[in-house]
Structure formats: structure tokens, C-alpha cells
Amino acid sequence: MTYRAAPYEPPTVDRIRSDISSGMTGEKVDFPDPAAAPLGTDEEAGGHAPTMQQRRMEDAQRPSPQPPSEASQGPVIFYFGFAAVLAVAIMCFAYLT
């Protein structure tokens, strides 16, 4: 008995669009795509939906999923420090006058 792998089924156009819109591919941030004609709509409306080969090529060229980056705390610390120094300077000025 020989083992045969199932043929690779490329993702659908909806899956590709969902991955891009969710930020999974790193091509954009996680936000819905406000496109008037979303990915694949023009081809399907014209009667020529993307073939399996075209979807395979798209899947092979997509960037690998990126882990979400953590926001830096540097600017927050800078502004709080600046506000604290400014508050101390105002209090010193008020005390001396």
C-alpha cells in the first residue's frame, strides 16, 4: 500500500482577502478593506474567476505571517517625564515669585 498525499488546494480568493485585511500577511494593518471592488471581484464578475494555478501563484508569493509588533513605550515615558519636569519648573517659579 502506497501513501499518496492529497493534492494541494490553494486558498480561495476570500481567504486571501481575509488574510490581507486581518494583517496576517504583514501587507497592511488589521482593518477592513474599504475597496469598492474587493480582490477577485472584477475577475468573477467578468466570468473569469482566478484559476487554481493563479491562486497557487498568489499563495506562493504572499509574505509569511508576521507576528504582531509590540508598541514602544519610549514616547510615553518621554512625554510623562517632560510633563513632570515642566510641572516642577512651574511650581518652583510660583514659589519664587
Write the pLDDT tens digit of every residue in 16-29. Answer: 877 877 777 777 77
pLDDT value at residue 3: 54
* C-alpha torsion angle, residues 86, 91, 96, 97 (rounded to 10): 100
Is residue 44 situated within a structural domain?
A: yes
Q: Which domain holds residue 24?
A: 13-65
Taking residues 68-75, what's their average pLDDT?
A: 70
The per-residue pLDDT for 86 is: 95
Helices 13-21 and 52-61: crossing angle, nearest 10°?
Answer: 20
19 lies in some domain: yes
Q: State the pLDDT at residue 41.
A: 74
In the chain, the number of structural domains is 1
Q: Give the count of alpha carbons within 13 A of 23, CB side only.
A: 7
Chain segment 43-66, per-residue pLDDT in tens: 777 888 888 888 888 778 877 766
Separation between Cα atoms, residue 21 and residue 13, nearest integer Å: 12
Does residue 26 lie within any of the structural domains? yes
